[in-house]
Each structure stands twice: as structure tokens, then as C-alpha cells.
Structure 1
Amino acid sequence: MPETNVGGWQGPPAGFGLTWQPPRELKVGGVPKALWTAEAPSQDYDDALAGPEGRSLRNLGFSHDRLRGGLPCYWEGVHADARQVECLVNTAVRGLPAYREKLARERVEKAEREALTAAAVARRAAEDLVLAERAIAAARESLRTQAWAWAVRDDVETAERRIARGPAGMERYQSEHLLDLVARAQANIDRALKAMEIPYEPEAERAALPEVQAAAHEGCKLLTARDADRAGIRNSSGWGKTTTTRGHILAGLPALDATLASHALRALRTHRKQLPREMELAVFGHEMADMLAEAAA
């Protein structure tokens, strides 16, 4: 675009209060135009181009001179309608207060939204921390007092990892999952207790004897003391996978009644070889199979 200094151009209107440098004549597509560049920036000008009349102002030639630091500029064409341009500029200037009020209102609304969002994020983080602390406390207590009710080893390892890591940074879903694991262990206990509400008939007659109830209780305590692995390892010590929950529950009770003793006898019968001979006799007595075995010896 060749550039020459010429005269005879009308120039931009004075509505924005700008001082304009002498124009440069440029040929754009073979058509001469005068490029007027302001001497200094103007907030009014910038707001007008950003406001509701901005597109119309640009269509008439108002822009920013990128070659001169983004100063306001006006491209005047040879057929520019000065009255139309002046009218549009005046309209844009009159609309500036309303536009700025709108911008200020939007800034306030945006700040309020951001504050609400930040408060919600902070509240959520605080709630998540409380939830994590509660989940860790519940899991720690459950593992301390009822580890035998945690039937799946992977659940125990997951809980122990999260307890060791602490509540900071624990995601909500992880806390909820940890509480689910605690609830699952409690559900195992509840099911076992429910199953022991009705006497186990094959053992009911002997379980009705008070001395058998006491002996069965001691037998449950003995096997529970040996159940350090919580039936997690196949060995001949303590309870097995099918008896560990019932056994621990029975051992932890103050005493056994006839119904509970019938279930204790059922569980102990599976592990009777672990009982000392004297305790075995107190629990099961001289049963026919035992007497036949002794006679054959």
C-alpha cells in the first residue's frame, strides 16, 4: 500500500475528544484512503468500539493502528459520509455511560459468582475433610475391635493404606468407599447375629446345660485368642473362614445362653482338635464316637 501525504480529507469527527495526526494516504485495492491515527489512546474510544455500536463503527472505518502501537485510527474513504459518521460517533458517545454501568454490573456479578464458587469449593473441601476424618476413624476402630469381620483381605489392605495416608487429599469417593467397607464388616456381624437367634437343633439339647454353656464360651475365647490371622491363613490354629465371625462374636459376649451355646458347639465341633482334652470333654462330653475310639485304642 503506497503512502503519500495529501490534503483535502474531511477527517474523523471530534466526538471522542481525540487529537489526530496528519493523515497518510494509502491505496487499498487501488482505491485511495486516508488513514488517520490518534496521537494518544482514549478509553472512550476503546469502550465505544467494544460497546453496542462497535460493529457499526468498525464498518465505517474505525479501528486500531497496529503499526503504531494500537492507537485509535480511522480509515476515511473518498466517499465517506461525514454526517453519517458523526451521527454514529455521537450515538456511541451518548451510550458510553449505560455501557460502562453494564460493564460494572457484570464485573460485580462475575465477582459474586466467583466468590460463591470459591465458597462452595472451600465448603466442599471442608466437608470432604470431615468425611475423610470420620471414615478413617470408623475404619480404624472397626479394624481395631472387629477386624475378624472384614472377610476380604483386599478390603483390609485398602483400609490400612487410606488410614496410613491420612485424610488430607482423600477424595470423597474414597471416603465413601471406606465407610462402605466398615458397613460391610458390620453387615457380616449383623448377619451372624441374626443367624444365631434360633437354636442350632443338633446341639440344642447339650447346649441347654449351664456348665456346657460356660465351657463352650471358654472354648470360643481360646480359639479367638489363637486367631491372630483372622482365618486369613490356612492353618490349624484359630477359627476358619466359615466360623471366624461367629466365633469372635461369641467370644466377645459376657456369657452364652442355650441358643448361643448351640451355635458355639457347632463352631467348636469343626475345631475340637484344638481344644485341650479336659475342655473338649467339658464342651462335648463322652460322645459315642469318642468312646468307640477309646475302646479300639
Structure 2
Amino acid sequence: MTRPPIDFGTEWSNAGTHRRYGHDLILWVAAQPTQAFRDAYSRARGLMVGAGYSWTDKGHAEPQMLPCWWNTGITFDADALRAEVDRVVAEAAAEREAKAAAEQERHERDVASTKNAAAPIRAALRALLVERPWALGRALSEARDLASAETWTSWGLRSAERYLDNAAANVRRAEERLGRTPPATWFARAEDEAVRVAALEACRVLSSRDMDWAAVQNGEGWSQATTWTGHTLSERAVLDQGEAAHALGLLHGHRRQLSDEVCIACFGEAPARRRRPEPEEQPALGF
């Protein structure tokens, strides 16, 4: 026999002569490892190895081991090998099919049992995505995908509940921060109603720019340290003196995103702007 007796659904190429167990043998290498080869090698290894089949890193440049056939010259019963390979490959395929059917059945039961409980949670998640997407933080993209899914499993339901709980915790932390003693640096200035109005508008400006909810460091909108509190302030109809003082403290760290006019209204002065370097003077061309 001069070539592999069974092709296992892939192409085989002659990789030349290679040393094996002290002998120079012709090596054939498969183009790829197929499921049929894996099944046959794992379930009928003795017959496969006896017929010359194995795995190798020789005769190819792939970063993985590939199926191979060594032309050992040893006589074997090719018909018996084929019959056993056909049997074990069919057996493995039937087991996978049965497993897939059982998994599909389990999935359908899971979806059916989750359907009623999922309805209010899905509605709450969708409302959160519309009203307070910033509260989801880095889970925003995953939450959107989940909310748009046609069906939920119990895993999806638990994930949605976790997103809602984490968002509520983020809002609660923001409210707790605003309930702390406001920074003395800004409290006196926040006594002025015009300053409070300007601070609220500045918060809304930054929130409108915070389209990624501080997921990416891009110099736009709030930072990861200020996003929840900043958005919470932006939702207020008006700011009291303490809230405005907190707002000024947050805004001061982002003042270069605000116009000079807004900075003067909030802080009494415009920020020092970084000057762009002047282009170097070009030498005059001589003719």
C-alpha cells in the first residue's frame, strides 16, 4: 500500500522520507484534522496505529500537530480497519447528535420556565437603557444585547438582574456622595443662585458629551471617577447649595472642556489654556 487507505474526509500529501523509530519511512500528512479522524483515533487507536496512522509535527509548517500516515510496509487488514473506523465514527456522531438534542430540549425547557419571570425584568432593563444608560457603566453594551434578545434563558435572567442591581448600586453611591459634606472650597460660591444654575448647565454639557459613559479615556465628558455623580447631578431640576458645591468640585477637574464663559460663571475665572506651539518660521527661499 503506497498511500493512506482511508482519507477521513481531508486531503493527504506526501511529505517525503522521515526518520521514525530508527527507520526511514515515507510520511503522508493530512491537510487538517477532521472530526472523523479524531473519533477514529480516540476510539480505535490500536488498529489505527497498527495501520500507520498517528499525529506529527514533521513534514509541515503548521503550528499544530496534524494527522499522518506512515508507510511502514507492515501488512494489515484494510477491510477490517475500514469497518471498525466506520463503526466508531458513526457511534461518535450518534452520541453527539443525541447530546445536541438533549441540550436543545434543556434549552427550550429553560426558556419556557424563564419566560414569565423575565417579562418584568426585561421591561425594567429596557427602561434603564432609555432613562439611565450611564448607570450601567461598562456593562452597557452587554445589557443592550441582552435586552434586544428575543428569548432569555435563566442565565440571561440572572445577568439582567445583576445589571439592574449594579446600576442601582451605582446610583446609590452617587447619591451617597452628594449627601456628604460638600467641599468647603466651593460651598460659599454655591450660595449664589446664578452659580448654581451655571453649575447645573455645565453638568448637563459634560453629560451630553459623555457618550461612552467613561468607558474609554478620550477627554470627552466625565471620567470614571465622576461619571455616576455627574449624571446624577445632570438629572436634577435645580441644585441646592450643597449639590452645587459638589458639582463645582467635579466640574473643576473637567474645566478645560467648558467654555471660558461657563468657567467664569462657575469659578469666577477662565482656565489657563494650553497654547498650541507656533509653527516654525520657514527660511526664505533664495533665487
TM-score, structure 1 as length reference? 0.51
Q: Which residue of 2 aligns with 1:270?
A: 253
2:162 corresponds to 1:176: no
Residue in 2 aligned with 1:21?
none
2:168 to 180, 186, 200: 186
Q: Measured at CA, do residues 218 and 206 of structure 1 come closer, stay the same or move farther in structure 2, by a change above 3 Å?
A: same
What corresponds to 2:224 in structure 1? 241
1:162 Cα deviation after fit: 1.8
Aligned to 2:205: 222
Q: Quote how far apart the aligned CAs of 1:222 are.
A: 0.8
User: 1: distance between equivalents of 2:175 and 2:269?
Assistant: 30
Corresponding position: 1:144 with 2:124: no
Q: What CA distance in whole angstroms lies between the structure 1 residues aligned with 2:110 and 2:221?
A: 45
1:205 aligns with 2:188: yes
| Correspondence 1:161 to 2:148 | no
Q: Which runs of 5+ in 1 are unaligned?
A: 1-121
What letter corresponds to residue 214 of structure 2 in structure 1?
Answer: A
Quote the Cα distance in structure 2 between the aligned partners of 1:157 and 1:248: 18
Structure 2: 5+ residue runs without aligned partners? Answer: 1-107, 275-287
SS in 2 for 1:237: coil
Q: Mark the structure with the bigger radius of gyration.
A: 1
Aligned partners of 1:226 and 1:238 also within 8 Å = yes
Code of the residue aligned with 1:257 in structure 2: it is D
Q: Distance in 2 between matches of 1:255 and 1:269?
A: 19
Distance in 1 between the 2:153 and 2:109 partners? 14
Contact kept? 1:206, 1:212, Cα under 8 Å: yes
1:195 and 2:181 aligned:
no
Amino acid at match of 1:144: V
Q: Counterpart in 1 of 2:8?
A: none
Give runs of ≥4 in structure 1 deviating > 3 Å. Answer: 122-127
1:250 aligns with 2:233: yes
Q: Identify if the C-alpha distance between structure 1 residues 134 and 208 changes in structure 2 by more than 3 Å, giving closer, same or farther.
A: same
Match of 1:130 in 2: 116
Q: Is the 8 A contact 1:138 1:179 kept in 2?
A: no
Between the two proteins, the alignment pairs up a number of residues equal to 165
Counterparts of 1:277 and 1:205, CA distance in 2: 21
Deviations 1:108-139 (A, max 9, x none): xxxxxxxxxxxxxx999766212222222111
Amino acid at match of 2:247: A
Post-superposition offset of 1:207: 1.5
SS of the aligned residue for 1:150 comes to: helix
Contact 1:135 1:179 in 2 (8 A): yes
Q: Is contact 1:272-1:280 (8 Å) kept?
A: yes
1:174: Cα distance to partner? 2.3
Identity of aligned residues (%): 32
Q: TM-score, normalised by structure 2?
A: 0.53
Deviations 1:33-88, CA, capped at 9 Å, x for gaps: xxxxxxxxxxxxxxxxxxxxxxxxxxxxxxxxxxxxxxxxxxxxxxxxxxxxxxxx
Instruction: Give the structure with the larger helix fraction.
Output: 1
Contact 2:111–2:153 under 8 Å retained in 1: no
Question: How far apart, in 2, do the equivalents of 1:125 and 1:214 lie?
Answer: 50
Assess if the C-alpha contact under 8 Å between 1:220 and 1:247 holds in 2.
yes
Structure 1 CA distance, aligned partners of 2:211 and 2:110?
Answer: 40
Q: Indicate conservation of the 8 Å contact 1:149/1:186, yes or no.
A: yes
